[in-house]
Amino acid sequence: MGDLTSVILPVFIVIGFGYLAVWRGLFSDAGVDGLMVFTQKFAIPALLFRAISTLDLGPNFDLSLLASFYTGALAGFIVGLIGARLLFNRSWEDSVAIGFCCLFSNSLLLGLPITERAYGPDGLTANYAIIALHSPFCYGVGITVMEIVRARGKPMRTLPRTVARAMFSNALIIGIALGFAVNLGNIPLPGVLTEALDLMVRAALPAALFGLGGVLYRYRPEGDLRAILFVCAVSLLLHPAIVWSMGGMTGLARDALRSAVVTAAMAPGINAYVFANMYGAARRVAASAVLIGTGLTIFTALFWLTVLP
């Protein structure tokens, strides 16, 4: 248990530094916003671009891996949507936003550093395969269902254009797409460019974790506790349990199973709030679920790391 704590706690200590710095007025809201713009629109897209442009796509895009993870993610979305509608009597728009919270685990800011600290840099290959499809899949599902809900009684011919425009204005998806283009096109990159990108990549995760702490201070919990805890239960328990079960049934390799379960077991990411804010739906539930779920991840991640092979 001590070894597992030493794996997880440094990640949350960095988040805590960011939270404390903003709480005590040592780091401004404007500074947090600037840091998150740098990480989410430049450094993390650069990280994804570099990882995917050099990834061996053949063996690493394991169908069992992707089916296990994304079946669990989609199940979480459906359970979240139906639960919000039937258990909490939320509007359809709120229900979709709450379902998106259950769908979008924090694969980057929590999943990557925790997996790296637990299993080393060589254990991240399956993480990158999951992340390559994560934003496109989650935004594709969330935006499509939300636009269908919002278009009740209206013509659906504009739906594909609306979904495509929303997805391809996302810097993470652009970084992923460019990485695939370089990889599949076997395009050589100048050494000076890759070294410059690697400088940004090295700053991506620590800066993003610090910024995440500042963002979480801003979105302190307010009401809707039952719905928030429901989201946390689906995200932290149901999603990884489905991935664990499917991975075992399909004979998923040990390293891939570790990456898939750890990634599935992460709290909802900031993108859950971004999505809710984009549509003005269930924003308080989304923001508070990110905060409370991130805190609970300390304990649930310890559990999943303990049971994993």
What distance in Å separates the CA atoms of residue 37 and residue 116, rounded to the nearest whole number? 24
- Apex 293 CA angle, 250 and 110, nearest 5: 65
Residue 28 has pLDDT above 80, yes or no: yes
Q: How confident is the model at residue 12 (pLDDT cuts 50, 70, 90)?
A: confident
Closest to 205 (Cα-Cα) out of 301, 126, 109, 104:
109
Higher per-residue confidence, 283 vs 26: 26
Residue 116 has pLDDT above 90, yes or no: no
What is the domain range of residue 181? 2-307
Q: For the ranges 184-198, 215-229, 279-293, which has the lowest average pLDDT? A: 215-229
Residue 118 has pLDDT above 80, yes or no: yes
Q: For the ranges 53-67, 199-213, 240-254, which has the lowest average pLDDT? A: 53-67
Residue 202 has pLDDT above 70, yes or no: yes
Q: How confident is the model at residue 173 (pLDDT cuts 50, 70, 90)?
A: confident
Residue 235 has pLDDT above 70, yes or no: yes
Tell how far CA 121 is from the center of its chain. Answer: 19
**How large is the average pLDDT for residues 132-159?**
79
Q: What percent of the chain has pLDDT over 70?
A: 92
Q: What is the DSSP string of 175-231?
A: HHHHHHHHHHTT----HHHHHHHHHHHHHHHHHHHHHHHHHHHHT---S-HHHHHHH
Q: Per the structure, how many domains does the chain have?
A: 1
**How large is the average pLDDT for residues 22-43?**
89
Higher per-residue confidence, 7 vs 10: 10
Residue 203 has pLDDT above 90, yes or no: no
In the predicted model, what is the mean pLDDT of the chain? 86
**How large is the average pLDDT for residues 158-183?**
79
Residue 49 has pLDDT above 70, yes or no: yes
Closest to 129 (Cα-Cα) out of 43, 54, 24:
54
- Residue 1: its pLDDT value, please? 40
| CATH for 67 | 1.20.1530.20
Residue 238 has pLDDT above 90, yes or no: yes
3-state secondary structure of 288: helix
- Residue 2: its pLDDT value, please? 42
3-state secondary structure of 28: coil
Q: How confident is the model at residue 4 (pLDDT cuts 50, 70, 90)?
A: low
Residue 9 has pLDDT above 90, yes or no: no
